Amino acid sequence: MIDYIYELKMKVRDYECDLQGIVNNANYQHYTEHCRHEFLLEHGVSFADLHQEGIDAVVARINIEFKVPLRSRDEFICRLRLEKQGIKYVFFQDIYRLPDEKLVVRCQVDTVCTLNGTLMRTCPQLDETFAAYLNKTN
């Protein structure tokens, strides 16, 4: 059983579906990004504010497995788990369809932080905020 630390419920919007009648693949990246940012916000970290301070959390790698497509009207839940691996903050993010809890997308997002464009070995703001989660997994 995966030990998620955050979840966000969402609903498909029709404009996210493409001519195959299913959610266009790129939108799952949008969903997972929104879920990460909401998770950060819930812990007092704003992606937009960090950017104003010169700190950008940037995605270095993303791997998405597409299992079952979402369709018009589907509700779904994005769940998230966080690990620190070296300089990377690795988000494991899975999307489940509601109400049947079918796995829609399994996703791993490797992020790093940059300060004025230069790679940071570690981001104090994130380390402090997520100490509880990061200790648990390292």
Residue numbers at the binding site for a copy of itself (CB under 8 A): 13-15, 17-21, 24-27, 29-30, 33-34, 37, 41, 46-48, 51, 56, 58-66, 69, 71-73
Listed residue (76, 71, 96) closest to 17, CA to CA = 71
Q: Pick the closer one to a copy of itself by CB: 18 or 127.
A: 18
Element holding 50 (H helix, E strand): helix 47-52
**63-72 as b/e, with b when 16 or more CB fall inside 10 Å?**
ebeeeebbee
**92-120 as b/e, with b when 16 or more CB fall inside 10 Å?**
bbbbbbeeeeeebbebbbbbbbeeeeeeb
Closest approach, Cβ 115 to a copy of itself, in A, equals 13
Closest approach, Cβ 58 to a copy of itself, in A, equals 7
Q: Pick the closer one to a copy of itself by CB: 55 or 82.
A: 55
Closest approach, Cβ 24 to a copy of itself, in A, equals 5
Exactly one of 3, 18, 49, 127 is catalytic; which is it? 18
| Torsion of the alpha carbons at 27, 134, 79 and 68, rounded to the nearest 10 | 60
Q: Pick the closer one to a copy of itself by CB: 14 or 135.
A: 14
Q: Pick the closer one to a copy of itself by CB: 3 or 86.
A: 86
Whether 100 is catalytic: no
Catalytic residues, by residue number, are: 18
